[in-house]
Amino acid sequence: MAKEMTSLKFSSPLFLLQAFFPELRHVFSKFEIRPFPSDAIDFFMDITKTAIQNRKDNKMTRPDFLQLMINNYKGESVGDIQNGTIEEYKQRGITETEILANSLIFFLDGYDTTAAGLIFSIYRLAVHQDYQERLFQEINIEIGKDSPRYEQILKLQYLDMFFCEVMRMYPPSTRTNRKTMKSVTVNGYRIPDGVEVTVPIYAMHYDSELWPEPETFDPERFSAVNKECRSPYSYMPFGHGPRNCIGMRLANLETKMAMVRILQHFRLKPTPDTKIPIELDNTSGGILRPRNPVYVIIEHR
């Protein structure tokens, strides 16, 4: 069902209508017209409703994101949000629709983006044997063959540099949007209030003024010295600021943990079928994926 949900293409007529005419969202909502597969949406909504009902029936709580939302549910008779401030949301509480929608986003954002990030990482490990060997040596020194612990993952500095460069070249989301709450002037450009601004993440990550030779894969871009020389806003695979991706730390940890376990036991090499450079699918609704399967050879160390 998650695969079905993330199969939306830019070429979808409903997607294009909503992208170019955002005000049509209200019309679509009124008539229950969805650009995503209805059966998949209903599947995830039912899962969430069942989980909520089970907790209520059994009077149980858990230390997780769903529980935080349940705790902030104050009923459906809620006031309007005027300015989008935290204080307004605290007063109003969260609606059931918002709980369901946020749960759906969590399901999907943790599915395709993390898988794609790991695929791109494996591809780069296979085609850069020198970087792979350096990573293996770092893992061998810090962890050895044991199962990695959270605090050990944080110590792997070169792994972090490597993965940051993977995320620069292959950001999970190619763009992000923000809506202005009031008029603002940025670098001489006036942006009126109520305007949606698109931040072109992928284009920024390949801007030669920010990243010399942007097509070259180079983990050293993310050494402590080099990071100090750049604006932090030149690199934003998970967005930036107070509304950046809430799952950023989990995605980083998941992918790094998988890479460590792979490199502890296996060596990755390209095959005659490995596409170099990798071909990207630019039709998948803003989520960056490989266009074709990525083939590598896996050898026991």
Known binding-site residue numbers for heme: 245
Under 8 Å between Cβ of 145 and 266: no
The full 3-state SS of 204-231, as one line of letters, equals: HHCCCCCCCCCCCCCHHHHCHHHHHCCC
Q: How far is CA 295 from CA 257, 272, 275, 276, 278, in A?
A: 21, 9, 8, 11, 11
CA distance 70 to 96: 9
Q: What is the DSSP string of 143-191?
A: TTTSPPPHHHHHH-HHHHHHHHHHHHHS-SBS-EEEE-SS-EEETTEEE
Tokens of 161: 């540099």
Q: Where are the alpha helices (DSSP H) in the chain?
A: 2-5, 13-20, 24-30, 38-57, 65-71, 86-92, 96-109, 112-127, 129-142, 150-155, 157-169, 201-205, 224-228, 248-265
Euclidean distance between CA atoms 154 and 217, whole angstroms = 22
Q: Which two tokens stand for residue 272?
A: 């005659």
Binding-site residue positions: 245
What does the alpha-carbon distance between residue 160 and residue 185 come to, in Å, rounded to a whole number? 36
Q: Could you give the 3-state DSSP secondary structure of residue 45?
A: helix
Say if CB 216 and CB 164 are below 8 A apart.
no
